[in-house]
Amino acid sequence: MSYKVAAAQVAPAFLDLAGSVAIAERWIAEAGAAGVKLVVFPEAWLPGYPVWLDNAPAAAAWGSPDGKALYRRLFDNSPTLDCPEIAQICAAAKRAGVFVIMGMNEKDGRTLYNTLLYISEDGVITGKHRKLVPTYTERLIHGMGDGSTLTVVDSPTLGKVGGLVCWEHWMPLARQAMHGKHEVVHAAVWPTVSDLHQLGSRSYAFEGRTFVVAVGSVLRRAHLPPPGTFALLDAMPGDQFQSGGSAVIGPDGSYLAGPAGDEEGLVIAEVDPARCTEELMTLDVSGHYARPDVFHLHVDERERQLLTTTATATATAAAEAGTYGAHAAGVGRGQGPDLAPRL
């Protein structure tokens, strides 16, 4: 059955968590009122992509007080998954009856991650994905994700929904791992969906035979904190730092909506999951158009932890022993930490 999806091409309240949540609530409500069933927000949208990394001349200066001040502001306004602000967004999703994929700076312990958060139309967190490799200057801000969050959510109403962040769309093995999970709709989140990013999004749709919601943000100088607040932001030349370009792309690589310009709004299209099946007749990169006798991909989906305790190790060993015993008996196949999917 067909349903509507949308790219939320909107500006956050830059580096202001509470303000950004209020904006998200409004656009989620608008999406619901428009009959949208899935809405996707841009990369690191909550509470704003760190645009100074690419635009401020001294962004990477070692020990810069200005850089530290901005990082502190971002850190202090980045949510944890169990914070009240995320609960507000979950409640907004439930009120609107909309599945939300939120791009965010996720705070976990003392590190930030470039994360996609999946929230069902019932307001329940159903998964997350952390960007595997922060791109270029992002490594000043974000930590690396691991294979445990190569997430595809199997939604009863939407089908299988997944996503990748920005330049992950040029990681061939990450793409293959996701294609093997048979997405119906894929969220491709970017700071701006430039011409190059359009290419990556359309290529992903064609290769994976999936619908792609490619979403970029809008950010102008007027959206930034007042002049004099942060020297690095004041030093950025120009007035436009993120320029939208959002689109919805079909499983044959064609545009269903967009690419949009640089104004705020929802980019909406109707998707029919049956079209994915039709396109699979000619290309299925994890099925009839694959050669597992020649090429083999092993995906390690274990969560990587720096610190473990004796209690943690004992519990993990017991779980693995139970899994392997079940596997030897012919049940529980592929469920253990070391029995990751093989494509």
- Catalytic site residues? 43, 131, 166
CA distances 6 to 39, 98, 107, 266, Å, are 5, 10, 26, 6
- Residue showing tokens 């609960």: 87
The DSSP output letter for 139 is G
The pair of three-digit structure tokens given for residue 83, joined into one six-digit string: 């914070």
Cα–Cα distance for residue pair 78/209, rounded to 1 Å: 34
Distance of alpha carbon 261 from alpha carbon 246, whole angstroms: 8
Q: Which residues are within 8 A (CB) of 71 and not within 5 positions of it... i.e. 6 or more apart?
A: 140, 141
The distance from CA 306 to its chain's CA centroid, rounded to whole angstroms, is: 24
Q: Within 13 Å of residue 71, how many CA atoms lie on the same side as its CB?
A: 19
State both tokens at 204: 């992903």
Three-state DSSP at 323 gives: helix
Exposure string for 67-82, b = 16+ CB within 10 A, e = fewer: beebbebbeebbbeee
- Judge contact between 8 and 216, C-beta under 8 A: no
CA separation, residue 70 to residues 47, 49, 58, 173, 244 (Å): 13, 12, 12, 34, 24
Q: Which residues of 217-229 are buried (b: 16+ CB within 10 A; e: fewer)?
A: bbbeeebbeeeee
